[in-house]
């Protein structure tokens, strides 16, 4: 998805689908930072769909591991400064009013991954800066096995994704999504498999590790899911000048 098929990202995930989500992020940024064109950093930006709804009001820098996804992000967000890097270790040598990590945070598989990523966020925050993140699932809200599917088209390609999500081992902190892509181009269809592994942690783990990183954490309502499940934006304010 993030390499060979990165060029299909607009069909996999459309920017207009993020308008409602982005309004929650914007509300937090404005409530915490006040008016002004503040500088923000997004880690794990991917194709930049959520960020695209914020760049009109904020000056943005973004990081992702995939150069191909950054190419897609650049098409959508031409004013954003982009860097290849891993959210667990990247250091840009600059500080920001806010650091954001959208659903890419869900790819972190261990508590040590979370600690390193929260340390990255803190390293890039100005004093009293804020960190915002939103994992797809908490251990308490994960429903077990489920299947989802969707189809999108442009004038050249039809992309269908079937996704089977489950927990292979209920005793560890991961779940996986097994995906099948049906790609129709020039009258021909091909099927491609893909597999993604995600972290699954209790809400308490998130709150504790963010606090240990030096952040004062709040839970903000995040009512963006079609199934109405309980969800939060986790908002951490840097409580010292580190």
**Tokens matching residue 137:** 């699932």
Domain boundaries of the chain, sorted by first residue: 6-138+201-238, 146-199
CATH code for the structural domain at 6-138+201-238: 3.40.50.150
- Beta bridge partners of residue 153, listed in sequence order: 158
Rounded to the nearest 10°, the torsion over CA 10, 13, 14, 17 is 180
- What does the pLDDT profile of the chain (242 residues) look like in tens digits? 999 999 999 999 989 999 999 999 999 999 999 999 999 999 999 999 999 999 999 999 999 999 999 999 999 999 999 999 999 999 999 999 999 999 999 999 999 999 999 999 999 999 999 999 999 999 999 999 999 999 999 989 999 999 999 999 988 999 999 999 999 998 899 999 999 999 999 999 999 999 999 999 999 999 998 777 778 999 999 986 44
Cα 24 from Cα 101, distance rounded (Å)? 13
- The position carrying tokens 């308008």 is 19
Cα 120 from Cα 45, distance rounded (Å)? 15
Q: What's the pTM value of the predicted model, to 2 decimals?
A: 0.94
Instruction: Considering the domain delimited by 146-199, tell me its CATH architecture.
Output: Single Sheet (2.20)
**HSE of 212, CA atoms in CB hemisphere, 13 A:** 13
């Amino acid at each position: 998805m993030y390499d060979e098929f990165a060029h299909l990202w607009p069909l996999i995930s459309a920017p207009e689908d993020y308008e409602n989500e982005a309004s929650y992020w914007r509300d937090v940024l404005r409530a915490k930072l006040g008016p002004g064109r503040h500088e923000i950093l997004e880690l794990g930006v991917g194709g930049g769909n959520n960020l695209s709804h914020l760049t009109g009001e904020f000056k943005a820098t973004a990081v992702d591991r995939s150069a191909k996804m950054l190419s897609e992000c650049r098409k959508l967000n031409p004013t954003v400064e982009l860097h290849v890097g891993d959210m667990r270790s990247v250091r840009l040598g600059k500080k920001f009013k806010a650091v954001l990590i959208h659903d890419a945070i869900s790819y972190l598989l261990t508590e040590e991954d979370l600690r390193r990523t929260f340390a990255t966020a803190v390293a890039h925050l100005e004093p009293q800066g804020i960190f915002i993140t939103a994992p797809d699932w908490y251990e308490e809200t994960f429903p077990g096995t489920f299947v989802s599917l969707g189809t999108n088209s442009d004038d050249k390609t039809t992309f269908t994704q079937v996704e089977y999500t489950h927990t292979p081992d209920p005793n560890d902190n991961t779940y996986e999504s097994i995906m099948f892509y049906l790609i129709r181009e020039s009258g021909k269809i091909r099927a491609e498999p893909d597999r993604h592994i995600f972290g699954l942690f209790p809400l308490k783990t998130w709150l504790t590790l963010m606090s240990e990183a030096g952040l004062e954490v709040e839970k903000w309502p995040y009512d963006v899911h079609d199934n109405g499940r309980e969800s939060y934006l986790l908002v951490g304010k840097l409580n010292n000048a580190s």
